[in-house]
Amino acid sequence: MGQGWRKDIGFRAGTGVFALLLILIVGAIGVELTLQSMQSISQFGLDFWRTEIWDPVAGEFGALPFIWGTLYSSILALLIATPIALGIAVFISELCPALLRQPLVFLTELLAAIPSIVYGLWGIFVLVPAVRTVEASLPDSVRSLPMFAGPPLGLGMLSAALVLAIMVIPFTSSVAREVLKSVPPAQREAAYALGATRFEAIRAALFYARTGIVGAVMLGFGRALGETMAVTMVIGNNPQVSLSLFAPQYTMAAVIANEFTEAADDLYLAALVEIGLVLFIITLLVNTMSRLLIWSMARSGAKAPAAEPAAAPAPGTA
């Protein structure tokens, strides 16, 4: 016993070191980014995030346009992607014939597997020209609205939001699907027993799963915030704060991707690292919150009585 016990301690410590490495890497990212951006943090303070002018040549660093572009594009993407992603999740987990389920899961997950750079390439040569045509064809009465102000370039906020939406859909829908799976079948059966229509029963299931659904949406938000290449290639890369969907804008990830290797002096580099640091913190908060929501949903689902077999009986399809 004594001998084996000691060996087990060795095994635990030996593997534990590698687990510790995971924690250390996350910590190291935070520390490294903070150290590298110290110069910018101490020189500009909070003004960095309130100033709108980004002119590195003149030594003016204001990151407001980037945080605006990141938030605006991600929120727009979420508005487009969320209903579609939830629709897909409901269709696959509640409505579609069993035979179609696996192929559909595979196809939607393929959307997540396509590299960002391929989305970007497609965005530049296919989506942007299409968006430009649509933008140019809008009547003048629409074009005078602030949301649609400016020349129809194609490159701009609208294209970025569309690409982001496509890229976010598979993440949100796959988590929402898992969440719906954890809703006890009794929830739906009770609704049907009371004479509910299919919509009403599914609405009950969605309501039961609301915490997890919000978690799924936030997970998509986290993905959208950090997405780099595809957005960089279609958003137009112009640091300005504008409501217009047509306006070329910029995001935090995109400015780092474009300007990092060109940053000639230390302050410029520190400013870019600070943008990276804040992006790191924001995505960390969003992802953590999303995971807590999904996790609390999964736990409450597991606690619910599950006397019946796991597979939810498909409501009469005839």
d(Cα 22, Cα 118) in Å, to the nearest integer? 30
Query: Is residue 120 a contact residue for another protein (CB under 8 A)?
Result: yes
Query: What are the two backbone dihedrals, phi and then psi, of residue 55, each rounded to the nearest 5 degrees?
Result: -140, 80
Q: Of 83, 97, 139, 316, which lies in the binding site for another protein, with binding defined by CB under 8 A?
A: 83
How far lies 313's CA from each of 137, 213, 223, 316, in Å? 48, 22, 33, 9
Shorter beta-carbon distance to another protein: residue 33 or 209: 33
Single out the segment in contact with another protein by CB under 8 A; choices: 149-157, 176-184, 283-291, 304-312.
Answer: 283-291
Binding marks (x or -) toward another protein, 202..241, rule CB under 8 A? x-------------------x--xxxxx---x--------
Query: Is residue 197 a contact residue for another protein (CB under 8 A)?
Result: yes
> In the window 161-190, what residues touch another protein (CB under 8 A)?
166, 169-170, 173
C-alpha angle 293/295/296, rounded to 5°? 65
- Shortest gap between Cβ of 179 and another protein (angstroms)? 16
Q: Of 49, 56, 75, 91, which lies in the binding site for another protein, with binding defined by CB under 8 A?
A: 91
- Shortest gap between Cβ of 318 and another protein (angstroms)? 14
Single out the segment in contact with another protein by CB under 8 A; choices: 20-28, 42-50, 153-161, 181-189.
Answer: 20-28
Closest CA relative to residue 253, chosen from 284, 277, 220: 277
> In the window 244-273, what residues touch another protein (CB under 8 A)?
253, 256-257, 260-261, 272-273
Q: Of 125, 142, 207, 308, which lies in the binding site for another protein, with binding defined by CB under 8 A?
A: 125
Single out the segment in contact with another protein by CB under 8 A; choices: 57-65, 103-111, 136-144, 178-186.
Answer: 103-111
Q: Of 58, 99, 113, 307, which lies in the binding site for another protein, with binding defined by CB under 8 A?
A: 113
Q: Of 50, 52, 59, 106, which lies in the binding site for another protein, with binding defined by CB under 8 A?
A: 106
